Amino acid sequence: MEALLSRSRQLRRPASRLCWSCSRQLKAQARRAYASAASQPDIYDVVCVGGGPAGLSLLTALRPGKDSRLEAAPGPILEPMQLVDSLLGELSEPNRGMGPPGERACPAVSRDAGLGRRDGCAHRVRLGDARHGEDDRLYDGEPEPHLRAFAPDERYRGAEVFDKVKVENITFGEDKDDLDLTQWPVVHLSGGKQLAARLLVGADGANSPVRAFAEIESRGWDYERHGVVATLEMEDEGWGGHDMKIAYQRFLPTGPVAMLPMPGRYATMVWSTTPRNAALLKSLPAKDFLAVVNAAFRLRPVDLEFMHTTESGQAEELLWRLQHTHVNHQSVPQTVVSVQEGSVASFPLKLRHADTYIGERVVLVGDAAHTVHPLAGQGLNAGQGDVESLARAIEYSVLHGQDLGTRMSLESYNSERYAANHVMLGVCDKLHKLYSVESGPLVPLRSFGLNAVNAMRPLKNFFMDQAAGKGAKLF
């Protein structure tokens, strides 16, 4: 498990400086008194376990800027790049921030990609007014802080990042030296460091150890599908060129496959398919793997199915079959020319929802709180919504002197996000069920429905706004 731990020292400068200094004093005292005792935990306001998009965004949200009502913070402690590099080998789900070395990027997740597609054929979706903004980062055209965490010029100032360490254990603190930490979670890192947290944030993914520590149950079901992810290089910057990035999603009988653009010639693929197909895809040599990926957006389902039946030779198979298939090249992603080594991974798709997002001094965000089928690309959006709401709750408690770790301070976060996420989980689940039907009267009905929505501009806009989190708040 990847561990990213941050102290939001910047949150309330003088108070936490005092907190920091007093904790230092405490440690100094403790060293004198218990020279032989085990190491004392360092005291932090916020410790975030997990360096995925949710964790990094939270860090950025708690970091004060010029526009923030919280005060300025000291310089960077870690280049964000290192952080993301270290994530590449640890992918457990598609929305994790990933990018080619040297380039900080997050897949511009298909905020609008869930709409306008048709059965069995790839459909182009324009991602808002996608542009390279003033700082080369807003690929979804949202001038909101949604993807800010991944911007190359952002530094996690005021936060400490513990890179390439593992969380070995989480326990409660002790009551000694006139300081009662029995209700504070203490995170034990590999290497012996201990961090006592006023608020422990679980941004640690679907199998969240923080959630296990908090004894919060997570319920749901498995889809018997695996998501295959890979970071790919295209032949060019995409049909929209440098300035307009296009995401693609095609519904295949086994599940949707999506190509999500990243800066330059790179893209991230997320392919929901059967566990058997996923295993095959992971075992193929790069040349054949690329052939299957290209085929997934071009060939008919029956041809594609055949390509999953042989152990090798997909590249030649594709060349031959493309001669007999009519493809409008502008309507499918550009040809994929290489796959980043080690970036192909798969994970089981499931629906999970935690019973609650908050406990005393514990809060869950992102996939730790809710795991969703990736077909509508809503996992990252939901995580970003969580972070936005949690950051607001934390800011409110800090400005009003509340203890930001208590359940009382976190209640607004839970009540703001739970219902909204529950609806999102349900909608994605029903979409999956709708699209896993392969024959029968539902198939033409489904196509008719989608075409109808596509034709009715206001209705389509409504759905797109809802998917992008810009529309009227329904829940």
Partner 1 sequence: MVARPSTALLLRRLRGLTPALRRRPESFVTSRYTTSFLANRSCCRSFSSTGSGSPSDNAHQSTSDPNFTTVSPDEVSHFNALASSWWDPHGPSRILHLMNPLRHDFIRMCRNSVLDAPSNTGLTYLDIGCGGGIFAESAARLPGTKSVTAIDPSPEVLNIARGHAHRDPSLRYKLQYLNTPIEQLTKTLHSQQPQAAQQQPQQPQYDVVSVFEVLEHVSNPAQFLDQCAPFVKPGGWLVMSTIARTWLSWFTTNLMAEDVLRIVPRGTHDWQKYVNEEELRGHFMAGRSGQWAEPRCMGVIYIPGVGWREVQGSEKVGNYFFAVRKTAEE
Residue 254: count other Cβ atoms within 10 Å of its Cβ: 21
Burial code (b: 16+ CB inside 10 Å, e: under 16) for 142-163 equals beebbbbbbbbebbbbbbbbbb
For residues 58 and 203, the answer to whether their CB atoms sit within 8 Å is yes
CB of residue 250 to partner 1, shortest distance in Å: 46
CB of residue 245 to partner 1, shortest distance in Å: 42
Q: Give the pair of three-digit tokens for residue 59.
A: 């860090």
- Of 46 and 380, the one with the shorter C-beta distance to partner 1 is 46
For residues 221 and 351, the answer to whether their CB atoms sit within 8 Å is yes
CB of residue 44 to partner 1, shortest distance in Å: 11
Measured distance between the N- and C-terminal CA atoms of the chain, rounded to whole angstroms: 33
- Of 196 and 278, the one with the shorter C-beta distance to partner 1 is 196
- Of 64 and 114, the one with the shorter C-beta distance to partner 1 is 64
Binding site for partner 1 (CB under 8 A): 12-16, 18-19, 22-23, 26, 43, 71, 178-184, 198, 396, 399-403, 406-408
- Of 295 and 404, the one with the shorter C-beta distance to partner 1 is 404
CB of residue 59 to partner 1, shortest distance in Å: 20
- Of 122 and 393, the one with the shorter C-beta distance to partner 1 is 393
- Of 183 and 461, the one with the shorter C-beta distance to partner 1 is 183
CB of residue 7 to partner 1, shortest distance in Å: 13
Residue 332: count other Cβ atoms within 10 Å of its Cβ: 20
Give Cβ neighbours of residue 473 (< 8 Å, ≥ 6 apart). none
For residue 331, the SS3 value is helix
CB of residue 425 to partner 1, shortest distance in Å: 25
What residue has token string 């990094």?
56
Pairing of strands 218-234, 266-273: antiparallel
- Of 46 and 105, the one with the shorter C-beta distance to partner 1 is 46
Helix (H) or strand (E) holding 448: helix 442-455
For residue 210, the SS3 value is helix
CB of residue 407 to partner 1, shortest distance in Å: 5
CB of residue 418 to partner 1, shortest distance in Å: 15
- Of 403 and 465, the one with the shorter C-beta distance to partner 1 is 403
**If you ran DSSP here, which 8-state letter would residue 357 be given?**
S
**If you ran DSSP here, which 8-state letter would residue 334 be given?**
P
Burial code (b: 16+ CB inside 10 Å, e: under 16) for 58-85 equals bbbbbbbeeeeebeebeeebeebeebbb
CB of residue 14 to partner 1, shortest distance in Å: 4
What residue has token string 């609650």?
356
How many angstroms separate the CA atoms of 376 and 406, rounded? 34
CB of residue 390 to partner 1, shortest distance in Å: 17
CB of residue 71 to partner 1, shortest distance in Å: 8
How many angstroms separate the CA atoms of 426 and 437, rounded? 17
Three-class SS of 146-206: HHHHHCCCCCCCCCCCCCCCCEEEEEECCEECCEECCCCEEEEECCCCEEEEEEEEECCCC
How many angstroms separate the CA atoms of 69 and 71, rounded? 6
- Of 293 and 404, the one with the shorter C-beta distance to partner 1 is 404
